[in-house]
Structure 1
Amino acid sequence: MYLADRSAPVGAKTAPDGGSVRAPAVASAVLALGAVSLITDVSSEMVTAVLPLYLVAGLGLSPLGFGALDGVYNGVSALVQLTGGHLADRIRNHKLIAGIGYGLSALCKPLLLLAHSLGPVGVVLALERTGKGLRTAPRDALISLSTPAELQGRAFGVHRAMDTTGALLGPLAAFFILNAAVGGYDAVFGVSACVAVLGVVVLVLFVPPGAGPGTAGPEPGASPKAASPKASAPKPGAVNLREALALLRLPRLRALAVCTALLGLTTVSDAFLYLLLQDRTGIHEQWFPLLPLGTAAVFLLLAVPAGALADRIGRRTVFLAGHALLLAGYGLLLWAPRWPGLPWLVLVLHGLFYAATDGVLPAAVAATVPAKLRATGIALVGTGQALARFGCSLAFGAAWTVWGAGPALAAAAAGLCCCTAVAGFVLRPAAPDTAPDPAALPRGTR
């Protein structure tokens, strides 16, 4: 391990004359990918904002049926996330795999205009989530590989803030379209398809093709001698499956994967949380598409500060604090008296949860794996989390159907409390929050 040189500002580079030149705090690749995510999220959140009401009120799905479909919507991406991450590392072209994922999601949006029953809707949503699964790990790997290790929390925060701007605009667009257009839900799906295509165009034109391994300077854990660009770039050669699986032998990565899966098993999906909020407070159906705006607004405001705070005080602390805030939101839904400010407070806590976890987790994963396997490592942890949330959606939908909303949420809250305590113990800091010394990596990952 090496100690960073504190004599120069964070993100500074040495000029030819021996002076110091401050590097941009956020790489251009991060900003370009943020713009793509912003546009794509406008498209996706237009659909997500109306989907629960469309399925439950429009198609008459029971909570159990909605839980199954919501699990498909959030869990199918997990089945292909590992494929996307491994392919990106193997062919050494993260932009190509991300582009295929964005393109597939865009192609699926118009198909919602033709699907008006549970079966076809489920197939379309599964295909759309397949695209998300393909693009997530390569996109996050591009962000981490384009950013110095000490600034990755901030970089992911900037990306998530731009992404959340789209999540803020999407429900607004859906709200105005539903109230203005004759076609209702079909009009929302049609506009969503057009916006998704725009996101793919921006990716192709503006995300630099060179963003990838070697652009972020020396890999954390490397010796100072490896500071030159040539020395910092990973060795050429395809990444094979054996090397990818060897990542699970890294103790810190394995601990992250296990803890995020445990926490995912007790994290109620956004759609269920908004349905619970409507059930508890009696919010009119007309205003339901605006509920995600509360979460998105808080996430947008605090994603960058939370990422910077995680870089400063430790990603574990911020990540666990986010789950504690989510637990507080569950408690309010269960036991707080019914008063006008309750929905706002629950949505603020929900947004704080995402600000403290969504960008912090990939930054923590990036600090534990070598650059050549960055997308694979992010995909391993993301897959475990997504599969766990898939299981949570199925279980929560069944519990709501059998026990009712209150007991189902109480069980989730009890589980989240226990899992957060376990994660706090397992992820206790035993060493600085940096990537491992390459000499200590399993054979085949160096």
Structure 2
Amino acid sequence: MYLADSRAGKATAAAPAAPADLPARRRAAVPGTVLALGAVSLITDVSSEMVSAVLPLYVVAGLGLSPLGFGVLDGINNGVGALVRLVGGHLADRGGRGHKAVAAFGYGLSALCKPLLLLVHSVTLIGGVLAVDRTGKGLRTAPRDAMISLATTPEHRGRAFGVHRAMDTTGALLGPLLAFAVLRAAVDGYDAVFAVSGCVAALGVLVLLLFVPSPPRAEAATEKPKLSESLTLLRLPALRRLTLCAVLLGLTTVSDAFLYLLLQRQLDLPTRLFPLLPLGTAAAFLLLAVPLGALADRIGRRTLFLLGHGVLLLAYGVVLSAGGAGFAVALGVLLLHGLFYAATDGVLAAAAADVTPPGQVGAGLALVGTGQALARFGCSLLFGAAWSLWGGHTALTVTAVAMAAAAVAAWALLRRNASEVAA
């Protein structure tokens, strides 16, 4: 079912097995670079999730935005960064030390946006700040993941990305808790959340600059790639099909914010408890990211990627059939949601690294990530419009049917590639 098995001895030509004389840091399943980047992501995610936890309620309840308007805003939050991912990956690939420099610029740009939320109070201006924030995220994602890939041997990439995503998710777990505490303690709760978030983001940038090593120059490509050459990576059948699968499934992946809004309205939760909803997702992701990353190294990363979307489809089904069943059902949905992320997030990055030439890892990861992010941007717009027209329940029903069809198409694509590899 999957493009290429990631076990030792089966590495593709695009990602050859690491030679036996690699330094100890490359032979380690979880090198120090991965742990340092994980610490940066943990701190940064505390900052980001503080804002994400309160933003839906702030703009819908506080500013009176409609579901369609929030769909546009959420699409900006998730999709604008995709437009610069290719640039970030391309710039990082142009030099062995470019990965850290581009990542640092991206983290710094996002950190500057958090205090700006204190100064804007209209949907248009908030959307502009979020666009800049997501630009920073788009710039840093591919270089960061490329550094993880370059620091890890191919047979251990699933585990390494799992460790990184587990540390990242620890921040996602702590962020809503901190936002909840700030909302309860501060008079101007939203402004206080934005201010604390900015301070935490600045700390993340400092940790990156001080503790994350730059990749050695010897690991960079001998010739600096052109941006047009990055786009031609889609001529590689394995990478093209993986990107197409990510796009198809991304078009039917409802954003976290919409899922939490559905649960909050279905259960009629008090607004002060809304920032706690992401905790169920984050807790499951944290517990399962490492074991599922290791499982992906054994059974194939594309296989687990598809299974993860099956879990998300099950979560949709539970939401649709729950009615007003209570907190137990909500907890089950959040656990399935976290399981979905553990089986797909870092796993997709590891899968993309497997089928990308070593000198263009940043660009290859950016291509796959860009396709997925743009697809999720489209899903946010379509789901927001469908909710406004038909209601949340019907909108989710249509999305679930579309995801089932997309999963079948993705399975056929990956199975076809597996047959070609075997031949």
TM-score (norm 1): 0.88
Alpha-carbon distance in structure 2 between the residues aligned to 1:23 and 1:207: 18
SS of equivalent residue, structure 2 residue 117: helix
Any conservation in 2 of the 1:257–1:384 contact (CA below 8 Å)?
A: yes
The offset of 1:248, in angstroms, is 0.8
Q: Return the match for 1:185 from 177, 187, 190.
A: 190
Q: Residues 287, 239 of structure 1: CA spacing in aligned structure 2 closer, same or farther, 3 A cutoff?
A: same
Please give the residue correspondences for 1:20-419 in structure 2 after superposition, counting only pairs within 5 Å: 23-92=27-96, 93-209=98-214, 211=215, 233=219, 235-340=221-326, 341-419=328-406
The offset of 1:14, in angstroms, is 5.8
Aligned partner letter, 1:312: R
Alpha-carbon distance in structure 2 between the residues aligned to 1:151 and 1:289: 35
Alpha-carbon distance in structure 1 between the residues aligned to 2:302 and 2:150: 21
Alpha-carbon distance in structure 2 between the residues aligned to 1:416 and 1:47: 29
CA offset digits 1:116-167 (Å, max 9, x no partner): 1111111111100000000000000000010000000000000000000000
Alpha-carbon distance in structure 1 between the residues aligned to 2:252 and 2:7: 38
CA offset digits 1:54-80 (Å, max 9, x no partner): 000001000010000000111100111
CA offset digits 1:278-320 (Å, max 9, x no partner): 1112121111000000000000000000110000011121111
Any conservation in 2 of the 1:367–1:433 contact (CA below 8 Å)?
A: no
Alpha-carbon distance in structure 1 between the residues aligned to 2:254 and 2:212: 34
Tell me whether 1:424 sits opposite 2:407 in the alignment: no
Aligned partner letter, 1:296: A
Any conservation in 2 of the 1:145–1:212 contact (CA below 8 Å)?
A: no
The offset of 1:4, in angstroms, is 4.8
The offset of 1:339, in angstroms, is 2.2
The offset of 1:21, in angstroms, is 11
Aligned partner letter, 1:141: A
The offset of 1:246, in angstroms, is 2.1
TM-score (norm 2): 0.92
CA offset digits 1:92-122 (Å, max 9, x no partner): 4100000000000001111000011111111
The offset of 1:404, in angstroms, is 0.7
Alpha-carbon distance in structure 2 between the residues aligned to 1:15 and 1:148: 9
Q: Residues 4, 272 of structure 1: CA spacing in aligned structure 2 closer, same or farther, 3 A cutoff?
A: closer
CA offset digits 1:396-424 (Å, max 9, x no partner): 00000011111100010000110011111
Any conservation in 1 of the 2:77–2:131 contact (CA below 8 Å)?
A: yes
Alpha-carbon distance in structure 1 between the residues aligned to 2:180 and 2:25: 47
Any conservation in 2 of the 1:105–1:132 contact (CA below 8 Å)?
A: yes
Any conservation in 1 of the 2:85–2:370 contact (CA below 8 Å)?
A: yes
Aligned partner letter, 1:353: F
Aligned partner letter, 1:291: L
- In structure 2, runs of 5+ residues without a counterpart are 11-16
Any conservation in 2 of the 1:280–1:333 contact (CA below 8 Å)?
A: no
Alpha-carbon distance in structure 2 between the residues aligned to 1:247 and 1:377: 7
Alpha-carbon distance in structure 1 between the residues aligned to 2:152 and 2:41: 18
What residue number does 1:439 align with? none
The offset of 1:245, in angstroms, is 2.1
SS of equivalent residue, structure 2 residue 80: helix
Considering only aligned residues, what root-mean-square deviation do their CA atoms show, in Å? Answer: 2.5
Answer 1 or 2: which has greater helix percent.
2
Any conservation in 1 of the 2:7–2:298 contact (CA below 8 Å)?
A: no
Q: Residues 253, 14 of structure 1: CA spacing in aligned structure 2 closer, same or farther, 3 A cutoff?
A: closer
Alpha-carbon distance in structure 2 between the residues aligned to 1:293 and 1:59: 25
Alpha-carbon distance in structure 2 between the residues aligned to 1:126 and 1:247: 27
Q: Residues 4, 38 of structure 1: CA spacing in aligned structure 2 closer, same or farther, 3 A cutoff?
A: closer
Report the count of equivalent residues: 410
Alpha-carbon distance in structure 2 between the residues aligned to 1:52 and 1:348: 21
Aligned partner letter, 2:402: G
Aligned partner letter, 1:405: G
Alpha-carbon distance in structure 2 between the residues aligned to 1:175 and 1:247: 44
CA offset digits 1:215-242 (Å, max 9, x no partner): xxxxxxxxxxxxxxxxxx4541211123
SS of equivalent residue, structure 1 residue 359: helix
Q: Residues 133, 150 of structure 1: CA spacing in aligned structure 2 closer, same or farther, 3 A cutoff?
A: same
Alpha-carbon distance in structure 1 between the residues aligned to 2:51 and 2:418: 43
Q: Residues 5, 270 of structure 1: CA spacing in aligned structure 2 closer, same or farther, 3 A cutoff?
A: closer
Alpha-carbon distance in structure 1 between the residues aligned to 2:274 and 2:104: 32
Q: Residues 237, 283 of structure 1: CA spacing in aligned structure 2 closer, same or farther, 3 A cutoff?
A: same
- In structure 1, runs of 5+ residues without a counterpart are 215-232, 437-446
Any conservation in 2 of the 1:244–1:373 contact (CA below 8 Å)?
A: yes
Alpha-carbon distance in structure 2 between the residues aligned to 1:121 and 1:234: 38
The offset of 1:334, in angstroms, is 0.7
